[in-house]
Each structure stands twice: as C-alpha cells, then as structure tokens.
Chain A
Amino acid sequence: MTDNSKIEPENETHLKSSKKYFDVDAPVFWPSAAVIVIFIAITLIVGEPMDQVFSSIQSNISNFGGWFFVLSVNIFLFFVLYIAFSKYGKIRLGGSKSKPEFSTVAWFAMLFSAGMGIGILFWSVGEPINHFINPPDAEPRSVEAARQSMEITFLHWGLHAWGIYALVGMALAFFTFNKKLPLTISSVFYPLLGEKVNGPWGKVINVLAVVATLFGLATSLGLGVQQVSAGLAHLFNLPDTITTQVILITVITLAATGSVVAGLSGGVKRLSQLNMILGAVFLAFMLVVGPTLFIMDSFIQNIGGYIQNFFELSSWTETYKQSDWQSDWTVFYWAWWVSWSPFVGMFIARISRGRTLKEFVLGVLIVPTLLTFLWLSTFGGSAMYLELNSLADIASAVTGNIATSLYVLLEQFPLSAVTSVVGVVLVTSFFVTSSDSGSLVVDSLTAGGKLDAPVPQRIFWALTEGAVAAVLLIGGGLGALQTAAISTGLPFAVLLIILMWSLLKGLKKEHTGMMETRMEAERKQYLETLAKMMQKREQAKVSDQSKKKTEQ
C-alpha cells in the first residue's frame, strides 16, 4: 500500500513508482480486478440471456435516474463556470508561482486532441441522421427534424460533456498540483475525509473510479471495434459478426499492448500524433469535397440554435411525451461522459499545470467544444445535406447498422476507397491510443496515483479493457455497451456531486491562504521599513557615541 500522507511537496516523488513488475495499491487493485473478472465470468457463463439483463438494467436506470443525470450535468457545468468567474478563478494550478508547462497554442492543440476520439468518429454521421429520421419532437425527415437533430447532437457533445471533464480535471489538477496529493480520485475528497482518504472510504472511491473508467473505456472500444468491423465488411465483404469483432478486439488489443511496451514517449505519442494529423486531414478533406457552403452555414446556424435553446435543451426530461427517446440517447450520453470523466479529466489535468482556474475552465469548455461542433457539422452536416436533397440514402445505413454510416457517407464523395481505408485506420489507431492511455489512467488509479507504474501492470489493464469490451459485445452488443456506461455512470455521478462540495471547500481554503500570504507580504514589508528606520537611527547613535569618545 502506498503511503499517501508522506508527500514531498516540491519534487513529485508521490507520482513516481519505485518497483519493477507490480506496484499496486492492493486495496484498490484487487477489488477492482475482482469486480471486473467476476463481471466477465458471469457474462461468459450466462451467455445470451445477459442481453435481457442488460436492457432491463439500462431501462430501469434511465427511467428512474434520467432526471438525476439531466440535473447533475447542468449542475456540473454551472459549477465550473461559477468557479471560473468567482474569486477562485484567479487560483493557479500548481501554485501562484507556477508557469504553464505548455504554450497556449500547444495546450489548445492538446485539448483539441482530447476532443477527438472513437466516439465522435462513430456517432458524427449516425447520430444526426438517426435524430433526423426519428426526432423526439418533430415530423420525421422534415426541415424542423434536421434542425432539431443537429441541436440535440450538439447538446450531447457540447458544453455539458466538457463541463463534466472540466470538473473532474480541475479537481484532480488542483489536489495533485496545489495540494501535492496523489493523482487519484480519492485525493479529491481530502477536504471532506481528511486522512480517511487513505482508509476504506478512499479505497471504495478509487475502486468505483477504476470500474467506471474501465466500463466507459470498454464502451468506446466496443463502439470502435464495431465500426472497424463494419468498415472491413464494407470494403472487403468480410462477415460483420460478433466473432469478427472479438477477433478484431484481440488483434487490436495486442497492438495496443505493443504500444504500451514501447512506452509513452515511443508508441502512444507517435500514434497520437498520427491520429491528430490523419484526423485533421480527414476533416479538411470532408470540408472541401463535401457541401462546403452548407457545412459552414450549418456550423454557424447550429451554434446559434444551440445557444438560443440551451436551457430548454439541457433541462428537457421528456416529461410530457413519455417515450424512451431520451433514455436511449441523452441519458446514455450523460452517463457515458460521467464514466469517461476520470480518463479525460486526468489527461486534461496533466497538461494544465500553470493555468488559472478561469483559463482552465474556459479553455476546456470552449476549445474542444468548437472542434467537436465543426466535426459534427462537417460529417453530420454532409450526411444531412444528402438526405435533405434526396441525393443518397444514409438513413437506411443508420437504421440497418449504425456502425456503417460513416462509410456510406464517404461512398458519396470522391476517393471513397481511400477515405474508407483512412476511416478504418483512424478508428483502429484511436482504439490503440485510447486503450493504451486508458490503461495508463487505470494503472495510475490502482497504483496509488503514480504516473509511471511498471509495464507489466499496464499490459494487464490493456488486456483487461479488451476483454471487457469483447465480453460486453458477446453479452449484448451495443445495448450492453450502453448499459455498462449507464450503470457505472450513476454511482459516479453521485460521487461527482460530493466532489463539487469537496473541491469548493479546498478552493476556499486555498483562497484564504492566498489572501493571508498577500497580507503577510504586506506585513513583512511594513516591518522591514520599520527595521530600516531603526537601523538608521542606531547607526547614527553609535557613530555619535564613538565621536564623543574620540573627543574625550
């Protein structure tokens, strides 16, 4: 077990590992591993009936907890905005003398990269078209449905998602850099639990964070592999079955494990750079060959619509219609983002040292949101253009197999063979980097906050993530993936509410400390002035006395 209380403030030994093979925080590692292994075993033993179990869990949580998710994500967003614009906004991550580790441009680029991922590749075409043919509150396939579908897609991928990440990222960064606590979720509860964060309560919190991250990650990986499989079927007529998907998970997980062994600066970094470049080229290509004017028009109009209807959209709970539309979409997204938040939160925390909380919140909310909106307007907007003008039938692909929707869209534009391959490569490399950095995060959480836990441990988590994704696919496909996110998202959302309270308490103390330091500096200056006066007088006195002595 790591000793969290003995922390050296300046050098960050609390973030470094000293062991070679396994350096685990046993009370977190073993229960987390046990929960996941038990889950995998039950799903494999029970087999197909698990599908029903998953769907009943999902519908129950969505039906009874939907309002809670809707309320929570709004609270999270307004809370981080409050922090940014309150007196706490001036608090600097890493202390008042801390300088930003990365230049603002580099920081923005990294936030952009956090905004991209498997999810957006999977849903950017499928989601807007799905809402277009099955809108919550409009005539299907109408102009109103098109407008509404883009606004709702923006809601799901916009400020609320980044509000959750900003909350978790801010809390992790604050307690790690300013309070010198280990980089774990339990550290964030230090103001409430005190030294008890090293006791059973802290361990329970970390186990919950590990399980939530792992299921959130598995959901993304499951979606990614579905899309790769659909892409291969589309390109090479390979059978798009669960077996293919499981084989793909195995192959890609092994590739990810290779990348883990190569280390952060070797494998992951190069692959991430490749992802960013490929992603940027992919986006630029679509922007140019697609209906550029329509895309830009829709980008502007969608943002306007999103802002205009922000409050109505974000507080909508489907009270009067009583259908399952919202549970299938909005509640799923909120839960997915919540369970995904330790992963993204930890990434943005690590790159944001030296930023003030105001800079942090505004950067994290605005930069990735705008990129995501551009991506959604480009891919979703192009698909919408084709549908509205009856130039192609993307909708059938969405209703048939949503994972193929990106390829069906690409087919409508030049060089589709090349772009589809790029699409498959992009999803695959996103899979690898997500799995790798995901295992880094889970690894850190189960190693008491250390950032460089031994390689065998990371391999273990990379393989486990692959296994969870595969098992979820076997157990119930997309529904199972969604259930995994929702069922771990709910308890974690409760934890995030308590986290806000804890963070506020921590910030209050920090702010008081800041003011006291300033007052102390003024006091010191005043005393120095007094001391100088006294010294001057004393010197005059001494020289006076010696003069008198000489005269005598």
Chain B
Amino acid sequence: MYQFDDILICLDLSEMDDSLIRYSNFLVEKFKPKTVTFLHVIKSYEIPPEMIAAFPHLDQPLTEIVKEELQEKTDAIFLHKNKVKTQVKVLEGSTTDNIVRYARENNITFTLMGKKIGYEGRGGIVRKVISIIPSTVLLISETTQPRIEHVMVRMDFSKMSALALKMALRLGELTGAKISCHHAYKLPLKYFPVSSPENDKKLMTHVEKHGRKEYQKFMKKLGLDDEKIQCANSLDPENDEAHILYKQALTINADMIVIGSKIKSELADIIIDSTSEKLASAEKNIPVLIIKDRKQTIGFLKALFK
C-alpha cells in the first residue's frame, strides 16, 4: 500500500494535462517508481460518424492519433522517460470503467488525477473513480505547485486514519515533509434546558479532552509518539468536516491533505464518504491524497463484477 512502484496518470486532453504531466516529474523524483503510465480513455461512442468522415485521408484509428499526440506532449514535458519505464495508453469506452479496470489489472498503487477531469459535469468522473479504484488517488488542481512540505492527516482514530497516517509518514520519509493531524469533532445532540452556552463550553472542553486521550491511545497502538506528531482539534458545528479540514490546512499552510476514505456499498453502488467527496471538488485547490483500503475495495469490486 505504501509503495509507489506503478503510477497511473489520468489525462483528459484538456489544459489540465500539462499540469498533471509536470506534477508527475515531481512524483518520479520523490517516489522513484518503476513504471509510469499516462492513460486517456476515448468515449468513442460519443464521437459523431460525420466527424470521422470529415477526414477521408486518415487511415489510422483514432486511438493511434490520440496516442501519438499524447506521446508528443509527454515527450515534451515529462523529463524522466529514460529513468523509468514510461508508456502512453489510449483506451476506448467508458472512462470510469477503463481507469478502474486498468488500475486493478496492472496493480496500480498510486493514481494521479486532475480535480476537474472529463466532461461528465462537475467532477463526475473523479467522484466515480475515487469511489471504486483500489489504488491510492492523489487529486491536484491546475494551480498545485510540485512540492510536499507539510502534510495534514484527517484524524478520527479509525483504522482508515491509521492507514492515512502511515501513508503520511511514508511521504515524510520520501520528501522530508512535516506531518500533523487534525480531528474535527461534533458535540452530542442535546436539548433544552441542557443546552446553554456554559454547558456547551463545558461539553466542548470535555470532548476535546476525550479526543486528546483517544489520540494518545491511537498513537500508542501504532507505536508512534503523540508529542512528535501533533493533533489539533476543532469543533465541527455544521456537520461539514471537509470545510473544517480545508480551512485548517490553509491556516497551517499544509500543502496536502491525506484522508483515509471509508467506503460503503449501497445496493449495486459503492459510495465514498462525503468528506472525501467534498474535498475532491474542484473549488478546493489543496491537493488531496485519498487512501483506500485496498483489500476492502477489491472485495467490493469482486462482488460488484461477479
């Protein structure tokens, strides 16, 4: 899980591609992967036949043309093709299905995507892909700078938070980035006459104290020092954890948010937790690294494609 041997970069033929290729240079320098794949999926069924007919002299298939174009682009921007095995792949069909299938079949451990990718409405493809892809996904925006200096981990003392923290530590080893955690807590529901500003304050102090204890226990279990990696607490009064995390990341100048994403299956659909989904939205331009429980996701996928 904490290996970056095979990296997948999803391109969509938009201006975002330049940013993604440029960022992949940085990833190769830091993560030293074995393979890097640049993947684009053409929705060939959406291409009108008259568009093809307008170019009668072309005897190459469209996938070849796009592949050559992307090859030219990566040749120009990607600087490490001699150090790492690099390939450009162009597939045809449904974008989500192809990306997920490719990642699964090729044991991709790390996927890089733009926060706005494809044309399925605002981040539709990103949302679908991050729900079902078994690999870790890094989402960056057009303005993301290639650096990882301060990583903030979303902390809720769960198994997924442990995976996220371990990933952050690994990133720290590779990049020298500082690690910190943030725990956004909610107050339990209460009713009049229990609810009053004084009682709320007392309750907040109590919950924060409880949070600190939980964090100590959590770190002890992982064999880590809770003094070295600080965990900040803040109240999430409006049940909008994504907003709290994003605000906190801006305050502490974190340049990456790492989140262990819980997934759940509802009938035939797999749904990612809403905080990951909200952080993945294009409006929030701090990169988000979404850690998946690979075993669990593959289990879901098997059940889904059975």
Contact between chains at B66 and A530 (CB < 8 Å): yes
**Contact of A270 with B by CB under 8 A:** no
Contact between chains at B65 and A537 (CB < 8 Å): yes
Residues of A521-536 whose CB lies within 8 A of B: 522-523, 525-527, 529-531, 533-535
- Chain B nearest CB: distance from A536 CB in Å? 8
- Known contacts A518-B121, A533-B69; A527/B58 CB under 8 A: no
Look across to chain A and name the residue whose beta carbon is closest to the beta carbon of B51. A531
**Set B55, B58, B119: member contacting A526, Cβ < 8 A:** B119
**Set B14, B55, B57, B119: member contacting A519, Cβ < 8 A:** B119
Contact between chains at A534 and B119 (CB < 8 Å): no
Look across to chain A and name the residue whose beta carbon is closest to the beta carbon of B118. A522
Look across to chain B and name the residue whose beta carbon is closest to the beta carbon of A542. B57
In the assembled complex, which residues on chain A have CB atoms less than 8 Å from the CB atom of B13? Answer: 526, 529-530
**Contact of B283 with A by CB under 8 A:** no
In the assembled complex, which residues on chain A have CB atoms less than 8 Å from the CB atom of B48? Answer: 527
Residues of B138-176 whose CB lies within 8 A of A: none
Secondary structure dominating the interface of B: loop
Look across to chain A and name the residue whose beta carbon is closest to the beta carbon of B119. A522
Separation of A518 and B121 alpha carbons in the complex (Å):
7
**Set B14, B46, B55: member contacting A534, Cβ < 8 A:** B55
Mask of B80-113 contacts with A, CB within 8 angstroms, 1/0: 0000000000000000000000000000000000
Separation of A519 and B122 alpha carbons in the complex (Å):
8
Contact between chains at A537 and B51 (CB < 8 Å): no
- Known contacts A527-B47, A529-B13, A541-B57; A534/B121 CB under 8 A: no
Mask of B119-139 contacts with A, CB within 8 angstroms, 1/0: 111100000000000000000
In the assembled complex, which residues on chain A have CB atoms less than 8 Å from the CB atom of B14? Answer: 525-526, 529
In the assembled complex, which residues on chain A have CB atoms less than 8 Å from the CB atom of B54? Answer: 531, 534
Contact between chains at B46 and A537 (CB < 8 Å): no
**Contact of B62 with A by CB under 8 A:** yes
**Set A515, A533, A538, A545: member contacting B66, Cβ < 8 A:** A533
Look across to chain A and name the residue whose beta carbon is closest to the beta carbon of B48. A527
In the assembled complex, which residues on chain B have CB atoms less than 8 Å from the CB atom of A529? Answer: 13-14
Look across to chain A and name the residue whose beta carbon is closest to the beta carbon of B56. A538
In the assembled complex, which residues on chain B have CB atoms less than 8 Å from the CB atom of A545? Answer: 57
Contact between chains at A530 and B121 (CB < 8 Å): no
In the assembled complex, which residues on chain A have CB atoms less than 8 Å from the CB atom of B65? Answer: 533-534, 537
In the assembled complex, which residues on chain B have CB atoms less than 8 Å from the CB atom of A541? Answer: 57-59
Contact between chains at A523 and B47 (CB < 8 Å): no
**Contact of B251 with A by CB under 8 A:** no
Residues of A471-523 whose CB lies within 8 A of B: 515, 518-519, 522-523
Please classify how large the interface on chain A is, using the bins under 10, 10 to 19, 20 to 34, 35 or more: 10 to 19
- Known contacts A519-B119, A519-B121, A529-B13; A534/B62 CB under 8 A: yes
Residues of B35-61 whose CB lies within 8 A of A: 42, 46-48, 51-52, 54-55, 57-60
Separation of A515 and B123 alpha carbons in the complex (Å):
12
In the assembled complex, which residues on chain B have CB atoms less than 8 Å from the CB atom of A518? Answer: 121-122
In the assembled complex, which residues on chain B have CB atoms less than 8 Å from the CB atom of A526? Answer: 12-14, 119
Look across to chain A and name the residue whose beta carbon is closest to the beta carbon of B124. A519
- Known contacts A519-B120, A525-B119, A538-B55; A530/B47 CB under 8 A: yes
Separation of A525 and B12 alpha carbons in the complex (Å):
11
Separation of A529 and B46 alpha carbons in the complex (Å):
14
Separation of A534 and B14 alpha carbons in the complex (Å):
16
- Chain B nearest CB: distance from A543 CB in Å? 10
Separation of A523 and B121 alpha carbons in the complex (Å):
10
In the assembled complex, which residues on chain A have CB atoms less than 8 Å from the CB atom of B42? Answer: 530
**Set B60, B62, B69, B121: member contacting A515, Cβ < 8 A:** B121
Contact between chains at B62 and A530 (CB < 8 Å): yes
In the assembled complex, which residues on chain A have CB atoms less than 8 Å from the CB atom of B121? Answer: 515, 518-519, 522
Separation of A533 and B54 alpha carbons in the complex (Å):
13
In the assembled complex, which residues on chain A have CB atoms less than 8 Å from the CB atom of B55? Answer: 534-535, 537-538
Mask of B256-284 contacts with A, CB within 8 angstroms, 1/0: 00000000000000000000000000000
Separation of A541 and B65 alpha carbons in the complex (Å):
12
Separation of A523 and B118 alpha carbons in the complex (Å):
8
Contact between chains at B51 and A527 (CB < 8 Å): yes
- Known contacts A525-B14, A527-B51, A529-B13; A534/B120 CB under 8 A: no
Separation of A530 and B48 alpha carbons in the complex (Å):
11
Contact between chains at A534 and B57 (CB < 8 Å): no
Contact between chains at A537 and B60 (CB < 8 Å): yes
Separation of A515 and B122 alpha carbons in the complex (Å):
9
In the assembled complex, which residues on chain A have CB atoms less than 8 Å from the CB atom of B60? Answer: 537
Contact between chains at A538 and B119 (CB < 8 Å): no
In the assembled complex, which residues on chain A have CB atoms less than 8 Å from the CB atom of B66? Answer: 530, 533
Residues of B188-220 whose CB lies within 8 A of A: none
Separation of A538 and B68 alpha carbons in the complex (Å):
13
- Chain A nearest CB: distance from B187 CB in Å? 22
In the assembled complex, which residues on chain A have CB atoms less than 8 Å from the CB atom of B59? Answer: 541
Separation of A452 and B303 alpha carbons in the complex (Å):
66
20 A-B residue contacts at CB 8 Å? A515-B121, A518-B121, A522-B121, A525-B119, A526-B12, A526-B119, A527-B46, A527-B47, A527-B48, A529-B14, A530-B47, A530-B62, A531-B51, A531-B54, A533-B65, A534-B52, A534-B55, A534-B62, A541-B57, A545-B57
A-side residues, CB < 8 A to B, are 515, 518-519, 522-523, 525-527, 529-531, 533-535, 537-538, 541-542, 545
Q: What would 16 more interface pairs be, CB under 8 Å, given A538-B57, A541-B58?
A: A522-B121, A527-B46, A527-B51, A529-B14, A530-B42, A531-B54, A533-B66, A533-B69, A534-B52, A534-B54, A534-B65, A537-B60, A538-B55, A538-B58, A541-B57, A545-B57
Q: Which 9 A-B pairs have the closest CB atoms?
A: A522-B119, A538-B55, A523-B119, A534-B55, A529-B13, A519-B121, A541-B57, A533-B69, A538-B57
